[in-house]
Amino acid sequence: MVKSREWSRKTREEVITLHRKGNGYKKIAKMLNIPRETIGSIIRKFKAKGTVETLPGNGYKKIAKMLNIPRETIGSIIRKFKAKGTVETLPGRGRKKMLTSTAVRYLKRRVEKSPRVTAEELRKDLSDVGTEVSAQTIRRTLRNEGLHARTPRRTSLLSPKNKKSRLQYAKSHVDKPRKFWIVFCGLMKQN
């Protein structure tokens, strides 16, 4: 964009004086031989700032050069400041959490109380009270709370009766000779 020339203070004051007398933009432009758009910008500037003086300050271009960042960025920062009164990123960005802190505490207590409960069962419990989440969300939440899924150690499932009969068998066969335990011998003659 080409930088326009700045009109003298005397000319700007003359534009304001003629406007206060009730002259329109077109008439003032013809009288002073200045483009109508310029007349409008001088009057708008006067209404906004209350003076025809060019107030001191740096333009976007000068600020961009000083800070070594794009001029468009300077413009967006200034627009944001004018609109919101701050350049800080306001809170409230991002997706909201699906589970409240109360629901997370409930899940944690439930898992600590009965560790064998599945994520699907927990999901059904939460859906009963109106919180619809996936089982994967529950797993992720529990992991974040420090509760990691573990596979239990594999052991033989023996009832007390089976344990007793195994012990009895072992005791009765402990003194048997080595030959007793040989089932097949390769030296035997076969017909």
Q: Is residue 36 part of a domain?
A: yes
Q: Is residue 191 part of a domain?
A: no
Tell me what the mean pLDDT of segment 129-155 comes to: 88
**Each residue of 76-94: pLDDT tens digit?**
888 888 888 888 887 877 8
Q: Is residue 49 part of a domain?
A: yes
pLDDT at 102: 92
In 10 A of CB 166, how many CB atoms?
Answer: 11
Tell me what the mean pLDDT of segment 165-171 comes to: 94
* Confidence category of residue 54, pLDDT binned at 50, 70, 90: low
pLDDT at 109 over 90: yes
**Each residue of 29-39: pLDDT tens digit?**
888 888 888 88
Could you list the residue range(s) of the whole structural domain that residue 37 is in?
A: 8-54
CA dihedral 149, 153, 157, 158 (to 10 degrees): -130
Q: Is residue 47 part of a domain?
A: yes
Q: Is residue 41 part of a domain?
A: yes
Asked if 140 and 98 count as a contact pair (C-beta separation under 8 A), the reply is: no
Q: Is residue 167 part of a domain?
A: no
pLDDT at 179 over 60: yes
pLDDT at 191 over 60: no
Say which residues have a Cβ less than 8 Å from residue 31's Cβ, sequence separation at least 6: 18, 23
Q: Is residue 105 part of a domain?
A: yes
The residue among 23, 38, 54 that closes a domain is 54
pLDDT at 106 over 60: yes
Q: How many domains does the chain have?
A: 2
pLDDT at 2 over 60: no
Asked if 138 and 107 count as a contact pair (C-beta separation under 8 A), the reply is: yes
Q: Is 124 helix (H, G, I), strand (E, B) or coil?
A: helix
Q: What is the CATH number of the domain that holds 14?
A: 1.10.10
Q: For a pLDDT cut of 90, what percent of the chain falls above it? A: 28
Q: Is residue 115 part of a domain?
A: yes
pLDDT at 46: 83
DSSP element (H, E) containing 18? helix 9-20
State pTM to two decimals. Answer: 0.38
